[in-house]
């Protein structure tokens, strides 16, 4: 049997030094914004019962979940999504809490992505969920929080805005099965015009078919609303488009017009989205660095209906980008190496604690002789060595007294 004890599983990686600094910087920066806007941190279990992510309502295919059984034989999965367990937690643990409830999180999700896609199977996410709040004000608050948080890390990104209800309203008028509707959604999401046309060519020509065929091309600025208006033949699609237009104009008024794109072909994988959906992209990063939207029906699955809206940020992608841009400084060098002569080990540890309390980055020597300690200091670039015996003797890293 082949031994795999020297590598990590596919889609995972070890994080070293600057990697960790970059991750902590992104987490600290984003959560600082969330906290300043009144959101409180929660953590959900890394293991959840499979039923929490039932594909019939979650939109998460069972083949991408890591599954196992507990000691009672019940099927559990490694958390593939953060929004759904937070909805579960809110419905069960926070149902008596005054609404709205503002929550944020920083935690891993686990998804078994197809090989050679370059996607992580273990991904760190942070994000917010605003539960128990409906309407334009809540939608605006969440989108503006997303923009503010991303702007603290990366100033140049593109925000795409759409509405899950528009696709549903158009496809509801087509005589197709749920499986075929999902194939259409997938083709629109990937902007695969050839695949979309192949599917639609099997249907009888109609205004509805033509509307769906044009959907992935409906992206751009305010002109998109005028282009989409003739496609609305029912009250639901017209109301959806009008609401999205109103939201867009509000965001333009907030000064976001130069970085925002309307995309009526923005149809997320997760089926629980019911209203606005939005995503953010960076140059040279293929996948979205932020995904979010409104999911007013999700909490019904846990017996406590309430409107909700939120987003998740890919911490891994942001951290890697900051590293490539050279914006993360390497770890601070050690200021002082403290070495004890024989018999003065405890005194040296106490002295090192005093130095650390005074703001120095201080390392205790584990070597036996002064020569070994000095050699280590030279190799590590430590410029000061303090030798502790009955007193303290200070030398520089090359062994000269200071």
pLDDT for 397: 59
Residues 313 and 385 in one domain: no
CATH code: domain of residue 342:
3.40.50.800
Q: Could you tell me if residue 194 is inside a domain?
A: no
Residues 292 and 384 in one domain: no
> Is the preceding omega at residue 100 within 30 degrees of 0, hence cis?
yes
pLDDT for 149: 96
Task: Measure the CA–CA gap between 380 and 402, rounded to whole angstroms.
Answer: 19
pLDDT for 395: 76
Residue 228 has a CB neighbour count (10 Å cut-off) of: 23
Q: Could you tell me if residue 246 is inside a domain?
A: no
Q: Could you tell me if residue 303 is inside a domain?
A: yes
Output the six-digit token pair for 77. Answer: 């999965």
Task: Measure the CA–CA gap between 59 and 61, rounded to whole angstroms.
Answer: 6
Output the six-digit token pair for 38. Answer: 């009144």
Q: pTM for this structure?
A: 0.90
Do 268 and 189 touch, CB atoms closer than 8 A? yes
Side-chain-facing half-sphere of 380: CA atoms under 13 Å: 21
Which of 293, 324, 355 marks a domain boundary? Answer: 324
Rounded mean pLDDT for each run of 10 residues along the chain, 402 residues in total: 85 92 96 97 97 88 93 96 96 93 98 79 97 96 96 92 88 82 82 85 83 86 91 86 95 90 79 90 88 94 95 96 90 93 94 95 95 94 93 74 60
Which of 299, 324, 349 marks a domain boundary? Answer: 324
pLDDT for 390: 84
Residues 6 or more apart whose Cβ sits within 8 Å of residue 350: none
Q: Could you tell me if residue 119 is inside a domain?
A: yes
CATH code: domain of residue 142:
3.30.930.10
Which of 324, 345, 378 marks a domain boundary? Answer: 324
Structural domain total, the chain: 2
Q: Could you tell me if residue 103 is inside a domain?
A: yes
Host domain of residue 144: 18-157+282-324
Q: Could you tell me if residue 195 is inside a domain?
A: no
Ramachandran class of 284: left when φ > 0, alpha when ψ lies in -120 to 50, beta otherwise = left
Residues 103 and 151 in one domain: yes
Do 333 and 360 touch, CB atoms closer than 8 A? no
Residues 317 and 363 in one domain: no
Nearest Cα neighbor of 61 from 77, 83, 73, 82 is: 77
Residues 294 and 318 in one domain: yes
Output the six-digit token pair for 206. Answer: 């109609």
pLDDT for 401: 66
Q: Could you tell me if residue 146 is inside a domain?
A: yes
Q: Could you tell me if residue 65 is inside a domain?
A: yes
Output the six-digit token pair for 177. Answer: 């099965």
Do 74 and 40 touch, CB atoms closer than 8 A? no
Burial 26-51 (b: 16+ CB within 10 A, else e): bbebbbebbeebebeebebeeebebe
- Residue 23 has φ and ψ, to the nearest 5°, of -60, -45
């Amino acid at each position: 049997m082949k031994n795999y004890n020297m590598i990590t599983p596919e889609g995972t990686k070890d994080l070293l030094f600057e990697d960790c600094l970059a991750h902590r910087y992104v987490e600290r920066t984003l959560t600082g914004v969330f906290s300043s806007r009144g959101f409180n941190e929660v953590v959900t279990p890394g293991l959840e019962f499979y039923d929490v992510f039932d594909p019939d309502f979650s939109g998460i295919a069972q083949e991408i979940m890591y599954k196992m059984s507990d000691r009672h034989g019940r099927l559990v999965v490694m958390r593939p999504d953060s929004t759904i367990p937070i909805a579960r937690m809110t419905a069960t643990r926070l149902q008596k809490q005054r609404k709205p409830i503002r929550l944020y999180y920083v935690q891993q999700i686990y998804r078994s992505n197809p090989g050679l896609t370059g996607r992580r199977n273990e991904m760190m996410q942070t994000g917010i969920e605003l539960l128990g709040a409906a309407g334009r004000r809540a939608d605006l608050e969440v989108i503006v929080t997303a923009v503010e948080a991303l702007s603290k890390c990366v100033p140049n990104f593109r925000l795409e805005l759409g509405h899950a209800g528009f696709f549903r309203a158009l496809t509801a008028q087509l005589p197709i099965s749920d499986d075929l509707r999902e194939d259409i959604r997938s083709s629109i999401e990937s902007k695969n015009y050839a695949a979309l046309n192949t599917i639609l060519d099997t249907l009888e020509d109609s205004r509805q078919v033509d509307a769906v065929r044009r959907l992935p091309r409906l992206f751009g600025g305010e002109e998109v609303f005028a282009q989409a208006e003739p496609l609305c033949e029912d009250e639901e699609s017209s109301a959806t488009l009008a609401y999205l237009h109103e939201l867009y104009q509000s965001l333009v008024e907030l000064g976001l017009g130069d970085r925002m794109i309307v995309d009526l072909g923005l149809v997320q994988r997760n089926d629980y989205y019911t209203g606005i959906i939005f995503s953010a992209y960076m140059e040279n990063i293929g996948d979205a660095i932020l995904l979010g939207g409104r999911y007013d029906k999700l909490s019904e699955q846990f017996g406590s209906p309430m409107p909700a809206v939120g987003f998740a940020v890919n911490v891994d992608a942001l951290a890697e980008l900051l590293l490539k841009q050279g914006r993360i400084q390497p770890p601070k060098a050690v200021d002082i190496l403290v070495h004890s002569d024989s018999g003065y080990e405890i005194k040296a540890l106490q002295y090192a604690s005093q130095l650390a309390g005074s703001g120095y980055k201080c390392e205790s020597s584990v070597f036996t002789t002064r020569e070994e300690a000095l050699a280590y200091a030279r190799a590590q670039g430590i410029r000061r060595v303090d030798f502790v015996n009955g007193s303290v003797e200070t030398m520089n890293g090359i062994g000269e007294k200071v």
